[in-house]
Structure 1
Amino acid sequence: MDDDITPFSLRIDDGELADLHRRLDATRLPDALPGDDWAFGVPVTELQRAVDGWGAFDWRAFERRLADVPQFTTEFDGQRIHFAHVRSERADAVPLLLIHGWPGSFLEFVGLIDRMTDPVGDEPAFHVVIPSLPGFGFSTPLASLDWPTSRIAAAFAELMSRLGYERFAVQGGDIGAGVAPEIGRVCPERVIGVHVNGALGEFVSELDDATTAVLQPFEHDRMRRVHEFMQNEFAYISLQSTRPALLGAMVADSPVAQLAWMWDKYRAWSHPLEATPEEALGADFVFGNLGLYWFTRSAGSAAAVGYAQQGAWGAEPQDSGVPTAAIQFAHDIGIRAVAERSNTIVRWTDVHDRGGHFAALEEPEMLLDDLRAFIRSL
């Protein structure tokens, strides 16, 4: 590995941990609105349940489990980048870069590492690299506001060079589904293939008549859900894209504000809707991820990088020519005809009855099977 890479160990200060529990114990919840349901946010009864769950979560045990994952930091243009890196013992393993989204972190992929690096039989094996996006988690503090997907892509390509990987594949979801194909555009000669879950970085609320005419019935349903999202759920994008510092100030001082902001999406974006976040995503992720954002005070910087970049919405990029695959789970909204405008789609999988935004946590085997089938085809 490059000399600029430094081993990283996670250990939150005892005082920070005690302060979190003091704040949770002193929680002051509002009076519930009439009905106390999910129509206007997290119901107070559910919020109290989540606060109790976070208070009971054993962070030190979580740290010990995470210590088994080799982690490192490096620096690009003054920005610290944190990442996990686990090599397979298989000689034919494919280097794989995994890119998370919001409100996630590198923790989304931790549960997949063993199955990726040490598969059963002759399934493709991977050398796994999982960076934290700039401004997220331990890739903080944010040194600059200028982090469009193209710059993130260039930094992650350089990370793979520092690790000695000349050729590699990329997988991502949410923000990662925007960064992954951009890496193919930054260095197409190095990227074996791009695999995403969910939409390929595009957020399309309107389609032209020609595209609408060829949609499948389930794609019409996806557009219906996009319109409902624009009507009922767009507020978080408006705030994160225009006032990330305001959000950061609010949640840096209140763990319950941090919890409510993310718990709403944990529930709304996982499948089925009736499942609790712990049931859908696992307690280690929902509370460990909350702790990651809380202890690093990174909600504002994550919002700035993920949502407040100029040119992040609406621009149609050029096709890199890199073979690209996508899997759309039940909650996803990807439209193949739109994705094909700027990507070389060689595999497209629609799953109608399972899975949501957090595919690596909700449907890890199905995601991994689709990724392996794609890599095998290349």
Structure 2
Amino acid sequence: MSPSDSHAIVPFRVAVPQADLDDLHDRLARTRWPNEVADAGWDYGFPLARLKELAEHWRTRYDWRAHEARLNQLPHFTTEIEDQTIHFVHVRSPKPDALALVLTHGWPGSFLEFLEVIEPLSRDFHLVIPSIPGYGFSGPTHERGWDATRIARAWAELMRRLGYERYGAQGGDFGSGISQALGVVAQEHVVGVHVNYLPVRPDPDVPVSAGDEARLDKIRALMADRPPFQALQALTPQTIGYALTDSPVGQLVWIAERFAHWSDPATPVDDERILTDVSLYWLTATAASSARLHHDVPRGTLPCKVPMGVAVFAHDITQSVRPLAERLFDIRHWSEFESGGHFAAMEVPELFAEDVRAFFLARLEDERLATAG
């Protein structure tokens, strides 16, 4: 690529080599299974019978080509930013002057999380849905330092290349931190940040209700008993990456366990969608590079000053506490939902899309009134 082409935005088509699919099926057929104690349930980890069921579905009934064809109905692109491939979906609204939104996924998700909300949100907004560096079609990263702030700077550059001067940011999981960071590094361009995951720390100086105290107890328990996957990916992402990149069943259980534990039992993510997400990680060999974000991401809250909207889903890993959030952020919108979990855009897409729409349309109205005044 010549220097003049370094900022090029190139159309991208999903086209996995058949040899990679054949290799996947062959590896699945040769899985070496561990034994399991009687009546183990979830006491020792992911149940053997359930994992065998998922693996057999993946090997014999799951059709990547069908999902690939669906994905190729969307407008995909890639560009190079800081010598890193950035893949993204760019869907324009029929409204030419619509606000643009950057939608950012987390781990173990992907841009696939947003498939069900593209149609409803694109009625009112242009949508830019990137794959985080190191994830999926953005491919592995090749140097350290791709933390939330650096990713946010890449998003700001991407939006500049696409010609968007003003835009909103939305995210959950790592996407929440990246969206907040975008509100810091591109504050003059970001009209607002909407998140569906906003952990907060207890503060003895902030009075909270009994219900909020229960939420804080949940956060304290999570902080005191760090999940094993998080510890491994934060401390030794390369080490766990060898196993996940070599064994499809290892990659499958690593991700499927999170969907099992983090989704609302009433709105589970179905097996086909789980397998598509797992397939994306497997076929792009991004287990290790995606895990590095746990290692590189800084701890603590970013000083994001742009207006923020928060959607709290009852079955997420944690539920944010409004009085504590308001000490740190300019909260303009707060919604509480009785259904939905960590993967809200997949589990309850209608609720998710409507909350995102409501926040950003309100932001536009606020700006209109401020200008008129």
TM above 0.5, yes or no, is yes
Q: Distance in 2 between matches of 1:260 and 1:289?
A: 12
Asked whether the equivalents of residues 121 and 357 of structure 2 are also in contact (C-alpha less than 8 Å), the reply is no
Partner of 1:339: 325
> Which of 328, 331, 341 is the aligned partner of 2:312?
328
TM-score, normalised via structure 1 length: 0.90
> Does residue 229 in structure 1 map to residue 203 in structure 2?
no
1:180-199 per-residue CA deviation (whole Å, 9 max, x = no partner) reads 11111111111111101021
Q: Distance in 2 between matches of 1:81 and 1:231?
A: 36
Cα drift, residue 86 of structure 1: 0.8
> Does residue 364 in structure 1 map to residue 359 in structure 2?
no
> Which of 8, 17, 20 is the aligned partner of 1:16?
20
TM-score, normalised via structure 2 length: 0.91
- Identical residues among aligned pairs (%): 41
Structure 2, unaligned runs of 5 or more? 1-5, 364-373
Asked whether the equivalents of residues 140 and 290 of structure 2 are also in contact (C-alpha less than 8 Å), the reply is no
1:284-333 per-residue CA deviation (whole Å, 9 max, x = no partner) reads 4201110000011111110102x1016x11x333242x110000001232
Q: Distance in 2 between matches of 1:319 and 1:95?
A: 19
SS in 1 for 2:195: strand
Q: Distance in 2 between matches of 1:242 and 1:30?
A: 26
Q: How does 1:1-378 map to 2 (within 5 A)?
A: 4-55=8-59, 56-118=61-123, 125-199=124-198, 202=199, 204=201, 207-211=202-206, 214-230=207-223, 234-272=227-265, 280-305=268-293, 307-309=294-296, 312-313=298-299, 315-320=300-305, 322-332=306-316, 333-351=319-337, 353-378=338-363
Q: Distance in 1 between matches of 2:142 and 2:40?
A: 41
Of stretches 188-197 and 226-235 in structure 1, the one that deviates more from structure 2 is: 226-235
Cα drift, residue 280 of structure 1: 1.3
Asked whether the equivalents of residues 87 and 128 of structure 1 are also in contact (C-alpha less than 8 Å), the reply is yes
Q: Distance in 2 between matches of 1:42 and 1:180?
A: 32
* Equivalent residues, number: 356
AA of the residue aligned to 2:175: G
Of stretches 327-336 and 180-189 in structure 1, the one that deviates more from structure 2 is: 327-336
Q: Distance in 2 between matches of 1:240 and 1:54?
A: 25
Q: Distance in 2 between matches of 1:45 and 1:364?
A: 30
Cα drift, residue 210 of structure 1: 2.2
Asked whether the equivalents of residues 136 and 301 of structure 1 are also in contact (C-alpha less than 8 Å), the reply is yes
Asked whether the equivalents of residues 86 and 138 of structure 2 are also in contact (C-alpha less than 8 Å), the reply is yes
Structure 1, unaligned runs of 5 or more? 119-124
Cα drift, residue 229 of structure 1: 3.1
Cα drift, residue 263 of structure 1: 0.9
Cα drift, residue 135 of structure 1: 0.5
Q: Distance in 2 between matches of 1:229 and 1:262?
A: 19
